[in-house]
Amino acid sequence: MTNFWFKKLSVPNHLADGVPIPQEVVGRATIAKKLSMYPIECVVRGYISGSGYKEYLATGAICGVKLPGGLQEGDKLPTPIFTPAFKAELGSHDENITFEKVIEIVGEDVANQLRELSLAVFESASAIADKAGLILADTKFEFGSDPATGQMVLGDEVLTPDSSRYWDKAAYESGNRSESFDKQIVRNWLLENWDPESGTKPPKLSEEVISRTSSRYAELREKLEATNQ
């Protein structure tokens, strides 16, 4: 799915063109350029949901972006917003930060470029999703600098259900805000079967959860590809 989006989006990406993929991993691996990654998760939200909604209920804002009062879970925002996070060390939780903090970390020029590029890519992706009868509620991008050119490049996986919330547009418009194509199935199962404060490792996912999640991912890809050849 990442390759689908790389082909659709007019933004430099990390794929290493012209480098042959070893036969033993063809179809399940890509070869990417080594980038100097910025330590910022570039989250864009077009709708309010999940942890963003919890922060809004507590503060009236997300990552310092003040929002109108009275918003409900799943509401569309007046305009998409950039709500960054600082990438923590492996094993730690990422920290939601303000745009001003992004400037402190990477400098004003890079911060502005990260925000502008993230919002532009989100807008393009939202239009493509809309054609497929989908709503792109929110997503996360990661960017790096290409050491060879100094160019800002889109890296990591892009717009997959691992990093994005997709909703069924028809269901949403009829009042059903739970028809999603993302990893919410896994989140819900873990909430029901594991206490993250217990100090224990998360349980192994059931075969049913794995199957249901895989099916939703495949259905999403089919919807996108069927209407965006």
Residue 174 lies in a domain: yes
C-alpha to C-alpha distance for 134 and 169, rounded to whole angstroms: 5
Question: Which pair of tokens denotes residue 33?
Answer: 């350029």
CATH number at residue 27: 3.30.470.20
Q: Mean per-residue pLDDT for 138-143?
A: 98
Task: Please state the pTM of the whole predicted model.
Answer: 0.92
Residue 218 belongs to some domain of the structure: no
pLDDT band at 19 (very low <50, low <70, confident <90, very high): confident
Task: Count the neighbouring beta carbons within 10 Å of the beta carbon of residue 80.
Answer: 19
From first CA to last CA, the distance across the chain in angstroms is: 13
Residue 55 above 70 pLDDT? Answer: yes
* 228 found inside a domain: no
122 domain-assigned: yes
19, burial (CB in 10 Å: exposed 0-12, middle 13-18, buried 19+): exposed
Total domains present in the chain: 1
Domain for residue 79, yes or no? Answer: yes
- In the structure, what pLDDT confidence band is assigned to residue 92 with cuts at 50, 70 and 90? low
Q: Are 29 and 21 in contact (CB under 8 A)?
A: yes
Q: How confident is the model at residue 208 (pLDDT cuts 50, 70, 90)?
A: very high
Q: Does a structural domain hold residue 96?
A: yes
Please give the structure tokens belonging to residue 144: 């790096």
Does 105 score more than 80 pLDDT? Answer: yes
Q: Which domain holds residue 109?
A: 2-178
Q: Average the pLDDT over 197-219 and give the result.
A: 93
Q: Is residue 186 part of a domain?
A: no
Residue 36 within a domain: yes
Residue 91: pLDDT band (50, 70, 90) is: low
Q: Average pLDDT over the chain, rounded to whole?
A: 93
Q: What is the pLDDT of residues 108-135, one digit of tens each?
A: 999 999 999 999 999 999 999 999 999 9
